[in-house]
Amino acid sequence: MTGSDAPSSFRLAYVPGVTPGKWVRIWNERLPDVPLHLRTVPSAEAADLLRRGEADAGFLRLPADRAELSVIPLYTETTVVVVPKEHAVAAVDEVAPEELADEIVLHPLDDVLPWERPPGRPARERPATTADAVELVAAGVGLLVVPQSLARLHHRRDLTYRPMPGAAESRVGLAWPEERTTDQVEDFIGIVRGRTVNSSRGRPTPPQPKAKPKPKRADAGGAGRAGTAGRNARRGGPKGDRRGKPRRRSR
């Protein structure tokens, strides 16, 4: 879909924790006539929403089923453990997964980390959402391991978090329906990848009017020689030629 068939707006979906503000700002600067509409979608539903054509592109968490989707991996998040501020973990700079072996670690149903085996001891029941799990951490029921962006999203003054090297990690990517790679999708890919406005896939700048050709100078072998001949005639011939006037003999 190109040219006049392109849509008059761009629909961008994103999962919780992703902050698309910087890319949206660049879009609005480069394409002010194409409104960008944002839509938050649960991580588990993002890929299907794109396949249904309810968004032109979206930021989702990987791995994702790439059937019918094109995906560009973008970055990997730091994994952290969320704890009450008075917890012993809050006194260290980072914690390894095995150090939580005796702790109850909550594992919500919407967990986005690709665990082979979650750390710690499981709670009696799994919280429905990450937001519910955060409330349970605040109540002292257990700890929670999440990508750092989700710890920030659900920040509370009575909680803190610490990095957990060696734990499962969440990767974020940009995806769109492969059969609907529109001009607007290409524009957004260029923005996310940091292309400048004049790059090969950026919007080209308007063509500048061509400068009018300068008039040609007179041919050096024609008018030029004629002008020189005229000057020589007035001066009595070329420089050093004194035949213009007869010389008088001295007596």
Question: 41-80: per-residue pLDDT in tens?
Answer: 999 999 999 999 999 999 999 988 888 999 999 999 999 9
Lowest mean pLDDT among 6-10, 75-79, 168-172, 197-201: 197-201
Q: Residue 65's pLDDT is what? A: 83
Domain that holds residue 152: 79-163
- 69, 52 Cβ separation under 8 angstroms: no
Q: Residue 67's pLDDT is what? A: 86
High-pLDDT (> 70) share of the chain, %: 76
Q: Residue 251's pLDDT is what? A: 43
CATH code (residue 41): 3.40.190.10
Number of domains within the chain: 2
Instruction: Name the strands in the sheet holding 69-76, side by side, starting at the edge strand that comes first in the sequence.
Output: 36-40, 10-14, 57-62, 171-177, 69-76
Nearest-angstrom CA–CA distance, 115 and 109: 13
Q: How many CB atoms lie within 10 A of CB 1?
A: 13
* Residues 50 and 100 both lie in one domain: no
Q: Residue 208's pLDDT is what? A: 53
Rounded to the nearest 5 percent, the helix, strand and coil shares of the chain are 30, 20, 50
Q: Residue 213's pLDDT is what? A: 61
* Residues 157 and 106 both lie in one domain: yes
Q: Is residue 247 part of a domain?
A: no
Q: Residue 131's pLDDT is what? A: 97
Of residues 49, 61, 34, the one with CA closest to residue 188: 34
Q: How confident is the model at residue 1 (pLDDT cuts 50, 70, 90)?
A: very low
Q: Is residue 117 part of a domain?
A: yes
Give the helix ranges, DSSP H, for 119-222.
Answer: 130-138, 148-153, 183-192
Q: Is residue 17 part of a domain?
A: yes
* Tens-place pLDDT, residues 83-140: 999 999 999 999 999 999 999 999 999 999 999 999 999 999 999 999 999 999 999 9
Q: Is residue 212 part of a domain?
A: no
Q: Residue 84's pLDDT is what? A: 98
Work out the average pLDDT over 152-178.
96
End of a domain among 145, 163, 181? Answer: 163
Q: Residue 45's pLDDT is what? A: 95
Q: Is residue 29 part of a domain?
A: yes
- 147, 43 Cβ separation under 8 angstroms: no
Tokens 């990517």 correspond to: 173
* Tens-place pLDDT, residues 205-249: 445 555 556 656 555 444 444 445 445 544 555 444 444 454 555
Q: Is residue 27 part of a domain?
A: yes
* Residues 87 and 150 both lie in one domain: yes
Q: Is residue 136 part of a domain?
A: yes
21-30 and 183-192 helices, crossing angle to 10°:
120
